[in-house]
Structure 1
């Protein structure tokens, strides 16, 4: 609901200058409302709501683009009586979204399939190509998308697809996009719980206002006794001008049940004439939650149709939402602040890397601390190691839920921080993995490292290096070294069932390391005496004797690595 208020406040402000930016935030303090009734009055006072409905009444085709008196673009969907027939044939027909490829822009990795009204999906499919072209022409334009009755379904689906197109544009670096605002009038619910959840997972898509007049049979066609679920903010109103807003599922469904056709233009006119009053509830013998609910229900004339028990359930629901919001606000940490905290932890890891480089190297000092001082250094960074892993695993999991190209939510600063984290911390995870006697780390690698590397590779620019990297770029380098050590020791101990295979893997490892050297992708500390790489090399050259001819062997025999910097 807060998002809708911000958008409408912003729209009202900028109507005065003939320009609307639905995506922008007001810099000054937002208006404060002392009750949802007053919020309803504010929503009802917005000219945008009347302008959008006016655009629908002037639409003669299935959809048309209009411009309001204040210069706002409105994409309006009309719905004829003939168009209603498919809905009435199968009034409760829900179909899985994967039956309609046109809807794949809504799904997320958590909710890959949802159920949607069959007739709405089929009609949207028929309009798809021309409608998509019109939508994408206005990706950088403030736009209201609106529809009444069953046309509201098309407005909702068009809005969702435009949100997705904006996500893709932003992932490719666009900074000029504008989020649409969707306003429906007497539109029935369109989908099930999983559609509701898919939209809830993407807060930037929260731009739906549903206006419902009392006694509208279409708006309440699907309510509490059906699988359909609401999303967005609902503005309930009467011809006398009463209006109030809700955005919690339980109350919306109960009020839809209680409200049973009215002229929307008359209703909106009555609302516009009502004053925005600020005052306390007269229900003095009730607690604030119950008093507020009673006032809202009386405002739209449905109080007599709702039992005390149902009001009690609403009260419980309100209290739970209130407590959850308070807890959420209490626990909210500014993402930038949290990232900065992680940078401090990463600084400790960098310190550990620096002081360990001269004695066996960073990787081997962590894997096998030899002295009490080495052990104390390792203990000093263990908590930072754990915190960094917990933070980045959670962050990547949340980021990857969104079905957006190239991890668009991972802004440059996050990707930079995540890449440094991966290159510093993953080698320590590899050290712990092989200390436990495991094999094949890469096959069991954590998904958050895989995604961080994938997003980095998609974003990086190809540059030719002429000096060694300060951090080894392949964060799995030491896993390759460990596998090479295991293959070599299998050969030395006669424990290999396939000698040719082991030798081929070692030749591949030589080529891999030489490629990294030529690209200056390794940090010089991998060649420190006592490192696992140097242990492997000393054992390998003894095993091979004078049978070396590779570029890597010549490089190592000549000790060219001493000049690698």
Structure 2
């Protein structure tokens, strides 16, 4: 744990934070405006753009038939909100696992805002003037600001991604864990800052299903609505409906937090598992940096999303029954009290950050005392720290294996070179006639074992979220795929595995190659599936198997032409060696192709390759 000035910690000045809060609350009271724009404090290069909460209805948070108002993200709108390796468009049944779940009501509002060209004009003016843009919002306006920020980050260059910040106040959650995962991978997580008051109900509201809170929620909505005559009404603020809403939301939050903590600690609670089979748990999770306002001028900063989820529940626990009399008004009033709270807190500059949560003392030590954390709460927060540290340790374990991987790849490069003059290493490996073929197979299996372990950890999110975007690993994965996958394909067809499992590309291709291919495509911003040069041998083998049946070849005319054009493009682009055209397998296939199915692209490359006897 450590303490420092908040502005230095967040790379955003205290005056800009105050300005953001002020404009966010101003927008809250101006629901008719699509957004408000003001310059930050004098001398600052920040431009603040704030979004209103809009209408205060149940539909502004919950839309559609789902109990949590959730839907799968539109990847055309937010292409980064997915797990790169786990996302396989060829397997629709796995998409739910790999792409983000988001709040549909918020996204619908964002689409309307983005259709307003004035916002894009204002942003472009700020970028041209080399100013930083702070998107902000209070309540659901904060949720809108978060999605708008993500959209601009998706559509800007890496060079100006640091020009966009998002600062929210009392914002509800907007999506599941994939959002946090994706933002960390893209190195955007630091651009999001969320302020939360200790008892504010709105940041927790989407942890409860609408079916359990609708009646109470509808009754308290006028309290937050500036256009309502009951805005900030004392009768609503101290009502039984407010207390019932708080109780029900926190009951649902308890289930969510307990389920998450059980997974963090690796000791499943059998009773909880049984209960959750009958309870629909909220999919929503935190992301970015959270700053908890304790209520006494102190601030606690957390960047660990699992720890934030635990605090969203545990910071709202009552110390005694006498607090129940005041909790109803607190859970509503604190939602509208951010400016006053921050003005005092930022002046005090009593800030604690989560440097080493895995070392958190389970006894009272003054760090989290102002948030009223129990020993159980501290245990859960510490488990979140241990979980995050374990991810880093898993990465270190694989970093230490890079030497072994490079050594085995060096062996395979030597094997590849030794077969250059006799048609290439693909056909040599498929024949397995000499000892060096056996030694190459040992290297193949050694590398496959390491990469299979990596992909299994990625599938379970047991590696740091940024792992798939680390340039060294993307490069290493690409080299591995180019060098080793042809050997896997050769082995597959040598043993006739297609008869058992089906076509290599549909059933036989290991995840280790799919993942590393997607990393490269994501880094280069290329369409999914566009860089499959390492597995063209599989398509060649399937088409070559038809060579003795002219009718079957003609029936696959499109595949035959597509393969040639794709191979030609990869060779011209330098991602596939021209030597593949010398392969006996390729030459045997090409020689039997009808003249009308031989493309000029491949013919030209063959004629320029020299000394190749093909039909």
Q: Which bin holds the TM-score, normalised by the shorter protein? A: 0.5 to 0.7
Distance 2:486 2:422 in 1: 16
In structure 1, the partner of 2:418 is: 355
Structure 2: distance between partners of 1:111 and 1:240: 41
The secondary structure found in structure 2 opposite 1:85 is coil
Q: 2:195 corresponds to which residue?
A: 211
Specify whether residues 362 and 248 from structure 1 end up closer, same or farther in structure 2 by C-alpha distance, changes over 3 A only.
same
| Gapped regions of structure 1 (runs ≥ 5) | 16-45, 279-286, 400-407, 462-472, 492-497
TM-score (norm 1): 0.62
Distance between the aligned counterparts of 2:251 and 2:479, measured in 1? 53
Are residue 49 (structure 1) and residue 33 (structure 2) matched?
no
Residue of structure 2 in register with 1:184 after alignment = 168
Q: Report if the CA contact (8 A) 1:100-1:121 is conserved.
A: no
Task: Give, in whole Å, the separation in 1 of the partners of 2:392 and 2:590.
Answer: 56
For residues 170-213 of structure 1, the C-alpha deviation after alignment (integer angstroms, 9 at most, x for no partner) is 4xxxx3332533222233x244xx53433333313424333234
- Structure 2 CA distance for partners of 1:99 and 1:340, relative to 1, 3 Å: closer
- 8 Å CA contact 2:412–2:443 kept in 1: the answer is yes
Between the aligned partners of 2:161 and 2:367, the Cα distance in structure 1 is: 40
Name the counterpart of 1:129: 115
Q: TM-score, normalised by structure 2?
A: 0.58
Corresponding position of 2:375: 312
Aligned pair in 2 of structure 1 residues 516, 317: CA closer, same or farther (>3 Å)? closer
Q: CA deviation at 1:296?
A: 2.2
Displacement of 1:350 in angstroms is 1.1
Q: How does 1:59-458 map to 2 (within 5 A)?
A: 61-69=33-41, 70-77=43-50, 79=52, 83-87=54-58, 94-97=68-71, 107-108=81-82, 109=87, 110-112=97-99, 114-116=101-103, 118=105, 120-130=106-116, 133-134=120-121, 137=124, 141-166=131-156, 169-170=157-158, 175-178=159-162, 180-187=164-171, 189-191=172-174, 194-203=175-184, 204-206=187-189, 207-213=191-197, 216=200, 218=202, 223-226=249-252, 227=282, 229-237=285-293, 240-246=296-302, 247-256=307-316, 260=330, 261=333, 263-274=337-348, 276=350, 288-292=361-365, 295-297=367-369, 299-300=370-371, 303=372, 311-333=374-396, 342-358=405-421, 361-371=424-434, 373-379=435-441, 381-386=443-448, 390=452, 409=469, 420-439=479-498, 440-442=503-505, 444=507, 446=509
Q: How far, CA to CA, are the matches of 1:460 and 1:121 in structure 2?
A: 23
CA contact under 8 A between 2:169 and 2:196: conserved in structure 1? Answer: yes
**Where in structure 2 are there 5+ consecutive unaligned residues?**
88-96, 207-248, 253-281, 319-326, 353-359, 462-467, 527-531
Quote the Cα distance in structure 2 between the aligned partners of 1:550 and 1:250.
61
Query: Residues of 2 paired with 1:384 and 1:503: CA distance?
Result: 41
1:561 aligns with 2:561: no
Deviation, 1:313, is 2.6
Provide the rounded CA distance (Å) in 2 between the counterparts of 1:182 and 1:502: 57
| CA deviations over 1:2-45 (Å, ceiling 9, x no partner) | 9x999853635xx6xxxxxxxxxxxxxxxxxxxxxxxxxxxxxx
Q: The residue matched to 1:225 in structure 2 has which SS?
A: helix
C-alpha displacement of 1:351: 0.1
Q: How many matched pairs?
A: 462
Evaluate the alpha carbon distance shift between residue 51 and residue 428 of structure 1 in structure 2; reply closer, same or farther with a 3 A threshold. same
| Structure with the greater alpha carbon radius of gyration | 1
Alpha-carbon RMSD: 5.4
